[in-house]
Amino acid sequence: MPKHTPSTLNPRSPLVLDTRELPRRPGALRTEKRVVPAPADLGGEMIAVPEGADLDLDLRLESVSEGVLVSGTVSGRVRGECGRCLREIDDSLVVRIQELYAYENSTTDTTTDEDEVGRMQDDLIDLEPALRDAVVLALPTNPLCREDCPGLCPECGVHLDDLPADHSHEQIDPRWAGLSQLNRKEE
Ligand SMILES: [Zn+2]
Ligand SMILES: [Zn+2]
């Protein structure tokens, strides 16, 4: 006998999809558009969707013989910090979701593992695990403010963008400093 986690899903929870309106007839379709607050810890330490920020769900629920196929997009805002210069990153993200949720006691339900195929709990679908996987996978592990961010000067910690190209920290003997300035003027 397949084991089921007890039905604890709340149909009013923002990331729970209610399929009661969707006929259990293969091919039946319903679209689901909603804006939900992002759950906590959606992302990593360096970059994440801020908790409570709007997530736009644009989903298609389709009845298939063994369950419901959910596909569509999730979009939202991401915030983080550049891994090289620590500047704030404020970006947007669009990820695709496609997940099959098997009906309870369907063949798929009884012949697959819980981590292979999603499960329905009665008529409810918990979208959060799939959404979480998709978003976390789409986020960069080493986020950058821009592709070619030069980072910070290792000596003074100032952003290299804000420094002249010849910025350096050569230790100059104070007795020669005057001379080196003279050389620079001649260049
Ligand atoms: Zn940067
Ligand atoms: Zn420097």
Q: How far apart are CA 144 and CA 42, in angstroms?
A: 18
Task: Provide the pLDDT for residue 87.
Answer: 94
Q: Which ligand lies nearest to the CA atom of residue 89 in the structure?
A: 1
Tens of pLDDT along 132-164?
Answer: 999 999 999 999 999 999 999 999 999 999 999
- Does residue 101 contact residue 67 with C-beta atoms inside 8 Å? yes
Give the distance (Å) from ligand 1 centre to CA of residue 80.
11
Q: What is the pLDDT of residues 43-90, one digit of tens each?
A: 998 999 999 999 999 999 999 999 999 999 999 999 999 999 999 999
Residues surrounding ion ligand 1 at CB below 5 Å: 82, 84-85, 87, 145, 149
Cα(184) to centroid of ligand 2, in Å?
Answer: 18
Q: What pLDDT, in 10s, does the model give residues 93-129?
A: 999 999 999 999 888 888 988 778 899 999 999 999 9
The closest ligand to the CA of 157 turns out to be 2
Q: Is the pLDDT of residue 4 over 80?
A: no
37 CA from centroid of ligand 2 (Å): 42
User: Going by DSSP bridges, is the β-strand pair 118-121/88-102 parallel, antiparallel, or unpaired?
Assistant: parallel
Distance from residue 89's CA to the centre of ligand 1 (Å): 8
- Concatenated DSSP letters for 131-144? HHHHHHHHS-SS--
Give the per-residue pLDDT at 187.
47
pTM of the model: 0.79
Task: Provide the b/e sequence for 94-132 (b: ≥16 CB within 10 Å).
Answer: ebebebbbbbeebebbeebeeeebbbbbebbbbbbebbb
**Average pLDDT score, the chain:** 89
